[in-house]
Structure 1
């Protein structure tokens, strides 16, 4: 029986590329080599390459996403996408693979683009009755009155890039004098930014995935950051405590499960996602959603799978099967 050729696509064009490579390595180590021919493909701004076990590089033909190794021309049956941020989480690669007719894990390009852009994501969910913080959006070079903004949003507040992951470019602003610096920092990451009111409550993260036409919500994780908020350092330098399953009142837990599932359904997602919320007075307030969550051993999503009794190898196999069946 012919093995399925899978390209694990990792890297990307942002500072999240190193995190992506950790996720890609975890996928490689946990896929069954007797069922899959597995290749590690690195996508960077300057090159797209396949690396073998000796770290030798072979250039990817972008016209059909194939690679020539010696006399053998390899074409892939499926792409396992673990690029966090652009171009793997914002719909660019999804559109590329759809045009080529190559199955790719995760949601399609349209849903990826909407969920990655906080401007579209928050506006859409608010219209469906999902709780969110107060927010205002700004475009680069747009004239704005910071006093009016802060009067509406209040202090402290968060200033975030609209399209960025891993909390890159985010600032928590306590005083008006620091607002412009935070805006400038966010605009270094994106041409669109969001100013969002501070929510005082418990931060939690919820993994959701689907296969066989059924949506599964994983055990909830409580996030306790040692820093002022769950920033890049907290996420990737061990400066946070993550409790899975979170200690929640059953009614609150049930409410979160229902909201997380509803958000997944509103966006008509496929594959996996991880969304974050703040619980305020027993109600979850949506913060953001990641459609390419981290999969390394330090990441939240695999810990939630473990808590649910789902082996990572089984889960990864199912994601590949779903993408091939969907095509």
Structure 2
């Protein structure tokens, strides 16, 4: 039996969602094949948490844990940390140095995709369309009229490196910009301000399934709120329609673009890319490499529509990492 460490938590605002994802992986992991261990990764502690909620410290020298005098090492790490340090390359690099296989992409791909500005710049030469954007770094002078001239109104102000829609605002007037910028700076010292794309929002899961890169059934997102924000994502304020109400040609088109991005970036494991389709042209917003794995999350919904159970999905991720 292989020992699998499911890492969850993290250092960002997304830690609560990550704990839910990690516990779903723990619940659905095939216990006849694997010994699963829940590992909480927080700034103040890295611990193994057993079923009775006892905590045992992780030895960071070799990522092992000693329980009642027995040292336990891990054959593979299932990464369920959204945000830093699980989605931005830090944990990936650490495990690569230790020679422990893990289920997400490599550290460079993680760092690149976590940085929205850099990701979109790298994909542009491959013909992947994006919103018009304006960049700010903390300390830069804020010229609101220059920003509006470039991106127009309404626009979106986003932290460059954060997920789960934390720190995002939809800005409808120039007067609202400074507050929106402050909100985004609470999550990150870099900001991306994007033109509003008025179209159909879809989320496209691409995974390596049994050695073949496949596009999962696409989800259309209809938010009751102004956009697909935290409430819409996690508190039911949106309709998520899988498969999306797209023509066959458009389903093919957006799927091909998402798959191309996965291949161009030499991705591994899970990926979920967000697009808005305007005038029959998909525009990419971002790519998540540790997408939510809660039972409400999009990748599990899409896998179910493709006839892939959560147990299969998680077994596949581990087997590919071990291979």
Give me the TM-score of the superposition, normalised by structure 1: 0.97
Q: Distance in 2 between matches of 1:111 and 1:196?
A: 23
Give yes or no for the alignment of 1:92 onto 2:90: yes
Aligned residue for 2:107?
A: 109
The number of equivalent residue pairs is: 323
Q: Is the 8 A contact 2:211 2:320 kept in 1?
A: no
Q: Is the 8 A contact 2:6 2:79 kept in 1?
A: yes
Task: Compare 76-85 and 141-150 and name the one that shifted more.
Answer: 141-150
Give yes or no for the alignment of 1:299 onto 2:297: yes
Give yes or no for the alignment of 1:226 onto 2:224: yes
Deviation of the 1:144 alpha carbon: 3.5
Output aligned runs, 1:154-169, within 5 Å. 154-169=152-167
SS of the counterpart of 1:227?
Answer: coil
1:238 to 229, 236, 255: 236
Deviation of the 1:283 alpha carbon: 1.4
SS of the counterpart of 1:164?
Answer: coil
1:181 to 166, 173, 179: 179
Q: Distance in 2 between matches of 1:181 and 1:258?
A: 38
Aligned residue for 2:314?
A: 316
Aligned residue for 1:59?
A: 57
Deviation of the 1:247 alpha carbon: 1.2
SS of the counterpart of 1:68?
Answer: strand
Deviation of the 1:142 alpha carbon: 1.2
Q: Distance in 2 between matches of 1:63 and 1:127?
A: 41
Aligned residue for 1:123?
A: 121
Deviation of the 1:211 alpha carbon: 4.0
Q: Is the 8 A contact 2:202 2:220 kept in 1?
A: yes
1:288 to 286, 289, 295: 286
Aligned residue for 2:47?
A: 49
SS of the counterpart of 1:323?
Answer: helix
Q: Distance in 1 between matches of 2:252 and 2:32?
A: 40
Q: Distance in 1 between matches of 2:142 and 2:229?
A: 26
Two-structure CA RMSD over aligned residues (Å): 0.8
Deviation of the 1:212 alpha carbon: 4.5
Aligned residue for 2:262?
A: 264
Give me the TM-score of the superposition, normalised by structure 2: 0.99
Deviation of the 1:156 alpha carbon: 0.3
Q: Distance in 2 between matches of 1:213 and 1:27?
A: 21
2:21 to 20, 23, 32: 23
Deviation of the 1:137 alpha carbon: 1.1
Aligned residue for 1:145?
A: 143
Q: Distance in 2 between matches of 1:259 and 1:119?
A: 18
Q: Distance in 2 between matches of 1:62 and 1:155?
A: 48
Q: Which segments of 5 or more consecutive residues in structure 2 lack a partner in the other structure?
A: none
Moved over 4 A (4+): none
Deviation of the 1:318 alpha carbon: 1.1
Q: Which segments of 5 or more consecutive residues in structure 1 lack a partner in the other structure?
A: none
Q: Distance in 1 between matches of 2:191 and 2:278?
A: 24
Q: Distance in 1 between matches of 2:106 and 2:51?
A: 31
